[in-house]
Each structure stands twice: as structure tokens, then as C-alpha cells.
């Protein structure tokens, strides 16, 4: 059962973040309704989760819901990415802001969308929202060294490689190096 603090956060979250939309994709605030069997199955799929931190633990609706509620409690911007053409879930993207900087993370939930144009468009929309609406000055992100799609996505969006370890890369994108590549609408979420 949810405690009262989480319940208040859950109710308030429905009004907090706008929908970001262009002709191909929509980024909608993640809500409890997105914690479906299909979503949980993607968290447990070894082909999909091989680069995310939850890969070593079995995920359930309860653990996925707790993750979502923790994002709300931390005031993270946590979105689902939906393909407009067929309303399919592409993945999720999140931003945690601290001291004017952002830390970004994303997950593709369906192998069909690995490296897809829809995934790239969603990432670019989110970057623009972070810099131009949320006024973040820098965004950090990290990837596994062999996560080719995420490393490529960081490179084409002008992220600079700032740290390299045996298995991981850490990237940074400063607002001054960001170049808008996509148009989209911000729709207030009711």
C-alpha cells in the first residue's frame, strides 16, 4: 500500500509536467497507468535491459511503481516516449536537476526502436526542453562503452566525452554547444 506522501505526490504529478509533441512522437509525463505488464516485461528482457542498472534484479509492477514514485519524490522529469502513428511505447527518458545541471537517462523499451529515428527525435525534443524551457546549463549522461546506439546519440547531439573508464563513458553537453534540431509543441498537461 502507498503511503500518504507518495499519494500526494502522485496526485500532484498529474498536473506538473507538459506533454512534448511533434508529428512523430509524444513525450508524456510518466504515470501509474504506464506501469503495465508489457513495460515490466521490457525491464526484465535481457536484450532490452542489458545497459540499465535494474538488469541484475527481477522487476515487478511493484518495483516499477516504486521507481516511478521515487522519481516524483525527487522532482525528476520522467517521461514515456510514444510513437504517434500507432500509440506504441518506445521508451522512457528522465532528467534529474541539481544546481542548474541535469543528469539524463533513457531506455528504449522495444527492440524495434533501437537506434530508430523516433528515438533520436524524442531525445532531441527532450534536450531542447531541458535547455530552453527548464533552463538547465549543462546535461550529463553516462553509457556503457559497448552501447553503440547511446554513444552515437550522444555524439550526434554534440555531447563531449569527459570521462572514460574500462567499461563506461561519461558525456557532458553545455547549453552553448547545444544546437536545436527539431520543432515540437509544448502542451499543458491537464
Task: Report the number of distinct structural domains present in the chain.
Answer: 1
C-alpha cell at 5: 506522501
Domain with residue 152: its CATH number is 3.40.630.30
- Rounded Cα distance between 160 and 48, Å, is 25
- Look at residues 48, 137, 34 and name the one whose alpha carbon lies nearest to residue 79: 34
Separation between Cα atoms, residue 22 and residue 65, nearest integer Å: 28
Strands 185-187 and 19-21, bridge-based pairing: antiparallel
- Find out whether 130 and 162 touch, Cβ atoms under 8 Å: no
Domain presence at residue 189: no
* Residue 107 belongs to a domain: yes
Beta-bridge partners for 76: none
Residue at 129 is within a domain: yes
- The answer to whether residue 49 is domain-embedded is yes
- Asked, for residue 10, whether it belongs to a domain, the answer is no
Domain that holds residue 40: 18-178
In a domain, 28, yes or no: yes
**What pLDDT does residue 140 have?**
95
**Dihedral of the alpha carbons of 81, 84, 86, 90, in degrees to the nearest 10:** -20
Grid cell for residue 180: 536545436
Q: 105 has which bridge partners?
A: 94
CA gyration radius, the chain: 16
Residue 53: what pLDDT? 67
- Residue 36 inside a domain? The answer is yes
50 DSSP assignment: T
pLDDT in 10s for each residue of the chain, 190 residues: 344 344 444 444 444 689 999 999 999 999 889 989 988 888 888 877 666 666 668 888 998 888 888 888 888 999 999 999 999 999 999 899 988 889 998 888 888 888 888 989 999 999 999 999 999 999 999 888 888 878 888 888 999 999 999 989 999 999 999 988 889 999 986 5
31 occurs within a structural domain? yes
Amino acid at each position: 500500500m502507498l503511503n500518504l506522501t507518495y499519494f500526494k505526490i502522485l496526485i500532484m504529478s498529474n498536473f506538473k509536467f507538459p506533454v512534448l509533441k511533434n508529428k512523430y512522437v509524444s513525450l508524456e509525463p510518466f504515470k501509474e497507468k504506464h506501469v503495465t505488464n508489457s513495460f515490466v516485461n521490457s525491464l526484465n528482457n535481457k536484450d532490452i535491459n542489458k545497459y540499465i542498472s535494474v538488469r541484475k534484479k527481477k522487476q515487478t509492477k511493484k518495483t516499477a511503481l516504486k521507481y516511478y514514485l521515487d522519481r516524483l519524490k525527487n522532482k525528476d522529469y520522467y517521461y514515456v516516449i510514444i510513437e504517434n502513428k500507432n500509440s506504441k511505447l518506445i521508451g522512457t527518458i528522465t532528467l534529474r536537476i541539481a544546481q542548474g545541471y541535469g543528469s539524463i537517462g533513457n531506455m528504449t523499451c522495444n527492440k524495434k526502436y533501437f537506434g530508430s529515428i523516433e528515438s533520436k527525435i524524442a531525445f532531441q525534443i527532450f534536450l531542447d526542453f531541458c535547455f530552453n524551457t527548464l533552463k538547465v546549463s549543462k546535461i550529463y549522461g553516462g553509457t556503457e562503452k559497448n552501447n553503440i546506439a547511446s554513444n552515437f546519440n550522444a555524439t550526434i547531439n554534440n555531447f563531449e566525452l569527459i570521462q572514460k573508464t574500462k567499461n563506461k563513458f561519461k558525456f557532458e553537453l553545455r547549453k552553448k554547444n547545444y544546437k536545436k534540431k527539431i520543432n515540437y509543441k509544448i502542451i499543458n498537461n491537464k
